[in-house]
Structure 1
Amino acid sequence: MNPISSPGEFTELDRFMFESWGYLLIPSVLSEEEVNECLEASVRLHQSAGTTGWAQVGRGYETEISLERLIDHPAILPKVRALYGDRFIMQSGWCTKQPAFGGVGGWHQDGSGAYDFRKLGYPIPLLQLRASFLLTDQTVPRTGNMELIPGSHRSQVPLPDSIRSSRESVPVSHVICAPAGSVLFFHNAVWHRTYAHDGDYDRYTMHYIYSPPWVRCSDRFENNPEFLQRTTPTRRYLMGEFERPDAPFGASYPAQFENE
């Protein structure tokens, strides 16, 4: 059972499934050629960074055009806009690698290590909306899939520490199975982890995290001027490069899409 969505429009059914489960799965968004281009770019990023074991590398979209194109991909941007309105940024873009024969990760919710999002209220607000592009095949379990707990973004109690510390399985969890090129779209408060990977190859996923415009970026302290100069106006806006005439209070943030 999957909360399956289609590329583009955020439908009424999408909203119901997202509010109920905390995530959507959009199968086969990228073509085989696009997947291969993004996978090759991801391998280059990690080789250049010299990563070992499980690792993530940020800002790959600044140097790899195939990853830059995913920032505002038409399959996911309308859904982000439907949830945030016309004012949001791409807080970060992380390329993650799970090594061959990798074990399960630790259960967690997305958020800031400096401030627990649970302190903001119940339900935990949507501050980091993630679109994860699967770049290796995950049509069966134990291929580095994402494992999530449906509806856990609405839970009034956290996952027990005993489960988290021992990395135990949870009977209500859901292992996401989908082909390369699919997108997993989920709420920061959904409890999740990386599932086991039995393959003899590294698993790669490209994550794009969207946030309200006042959230601080987490993969960069400042934007690359050369990247800003050559990229598109929409992507420049999503990097947080727009005029703020009344900063820092933000009453007149420009609306990116208001004239469309």
Structure 2
Amino acid sequence: MLNPEVAPGAFTELDRFVFESWGYLVIPDVLTTAEAEECYDASARLHAARDKEFGQLGRGYETEPSLERLIDHPAVLPKVRGLFGDRFVLQSSWNTMQPAHGGTGGWHQDGSGAYDFGRLGYPVPLIQLRASFLLTDQTRPGTGNMELIPGSHRSTVPLPADIRAARGDTPIGHVICAPIGSVLVFHNGVWHRTYRHDGDRDRYTAHYVYSPPWVRPADRLTNSADFLERTTPMRRALMGEFERPDAPYGAGYDPLPFD
């Protein structure tokens, strides 16, 4: 099956062309099977007190070291830097669970329910870049895959309302089939949905959403003081913990502490 696969690490000009054309990238082999299983177990602990239904929880990196390590993973962060430059933050982190034998989700674009990003301009600007770590094998359809519509971040019209209301199929939906440990990176403007899950094991995915530094965090009102004290300088900066410049995000705002 055709996938917009790119190599981990450095963001190349071909990566940029693929991303601008499709609105998303697939990076295979980011996590080993053992690393993905460790993150899966951490995800299960996060969701243990929830009802067994589709849902998401934020801030898992504060209590689970395996999930914290994904914040600035060297296979993924250069892609974010290539698209945003040297100044961006981790706007949110969501850990999602789709229960075994879960149905297909609804079509949507990422963004704010309070203000449609499409009102800011055409094409829909890149405000939220999502990196989704696949913690289960999804090499075939029906395993809790993500389904996206390639290039839809550049469409001048929305996905028809009747398709969205019925959670219907489209002739150009692309079900991402990728092995455990792969990462899907996609633009907030791409129309997407959770595909059905026919398997007997719950599906967990760890999502990390990066944004310009002026975007309000969605998974937290404030950062955990304990987490900030023990984490790395890069991760602390990605939490948006920086000295307030002379003007908001003006000349006094330092870039991220890249090596």
Name the residue aligned to 1:95: 95
Q: 1:33 to 1:249 in 2, by over 3 A?
A: closer
- 1:228 aligned residue: 228
Where 1:133 maps in the other structure, the secondary structure is strand
Match of 2:14 in 1: 13
Q: State the shift of 1:25 in Å.
A: 0.3
- Give the SS at the match of 2:48: helix
Specify whether residues 71 and 51 from structure 1 end up closer, same or farther in structure 2 by C-alpha distance, changes over 3 A only. farther
For residues 50-100 of structure 1, give each alpha carbon's deviation from its aligned partner in whole angstroms, at most 9, with x where no partner exists.
243101010000000000000000001011001000000000000000011
**Percent of aligned pairs with the same amino acid:** 70
> Which amino acid in the other structure matches residue 25 of structure 1?
V
Contact 1:24 1:185 survives alignment (8 Å): yes
Question: Contact (CA 8 Å) 2:9, 2:79: kept in 1 or not?
Answer: yes
Q: How far apart are 1:249 and its partner, in Å?
A: 5.3
Partner of 2:39: 38
How many residues in Structure 1 have an aligned counterpart in Structure 2? 258
Counterparts of residues 122-161 of structure 1 (less than 5 Å): 122-161=122-161
Aligned-residue Cα RMSD (Å) equals 1.0
SS in 2 for 1:165: helix
1:84 is aligned to 2:111? no
What secondary structure sits across from 1:30 in the alignment? coil
Counterpart amino acid of residue 16 in structure 1: F
TM-score in terms of structure 2 length: 0.97
Question: How far did 1:168 drift?
Answer: 0.6
CA deviations 1:136-190 (Å, max 9, x no partner) are 1100000000000000000000000010000110001100001110000000000
Structure 2 residue aligned with 1:23: 24
Matches within 5 A, 1:74-223: 74-223=74-223
Structure 2: where are the runs of 5+ without partners? none
Aligned-residue offset at 1:250: 3.0
Task: Work out the CA distance in 1 between the residues paired with 2:122 and 2:253.
Answer: 27
Give the CA deviation at 1:113.
1.0
Over residues 115-139 of structure 1, what are the superposed CA-to-partner deviations in whole Å (9 max), with x where a residue is unaligned? 1101100001000000000001100
Aligned-residue offset at 1:247: 4.2
**Secondary structure in 2 matching 1:103:** coil
Deviation at 1:244, TM superposition (A): 1.8
Partners of 2:131 and 2:55 lie apart in 1 by 18
TM-score, normalized by length of structure 1?
A: 0.97
Separation in structure 2 between the aligned mates of residue 66 and residue 86 of structure 1, nearest angstrom: 25
Q: How does 1:230-245 map to 2 (within 5 A)?
A: 230-245=230-245
Mapped to 2, the partners of 1:202 and 1:130 lie a distance apart of 22
CA drift of 1:19 comes to 0.1
Q: Is the 8 A contact 1:244 1:250 kept in 2?
A: no
Deviation at 1:248, TM superposition (A): 3.0
Task: Give secondary structure in 2 for the equivalent of 1:164.
Answer: helix
Q: Which amino acid aligns with 1:20?
A: S
Cα pair distance change 1:257/1:224, threshold 3 Å: closer
Q: Tell me how far 1:202 sits from its aligned partner.
A: 0.6
Q: Which amino acid aligns with 2:88?
A: F
Equivalent residue letter for 2:183: V
Asked whether the equivalents of residues 90 and 238 of structure 2 are also in contact (C-alpha less than 8 Å), the reply is yes
- 1:213-245 CA distance string (max 9 Å, x none): 000000000000000000000000000001122
Opposite residue 36 of structure 2, the aligned amino acid is V
Specify the code of the residue in structure 2 equivalent to 1:69. R
Contact 1:132 1:207 (8 Å CA) reproduced: yes
**Distance across 1 between alignment mates of 2:157 and 2:251:** 34
Aligned amino acid, residue 40 of structure 2: L
Displacement of 1:251 in angstroms is 3.7
Name the SS for the 1:93 alignment partner.
Answer: strand
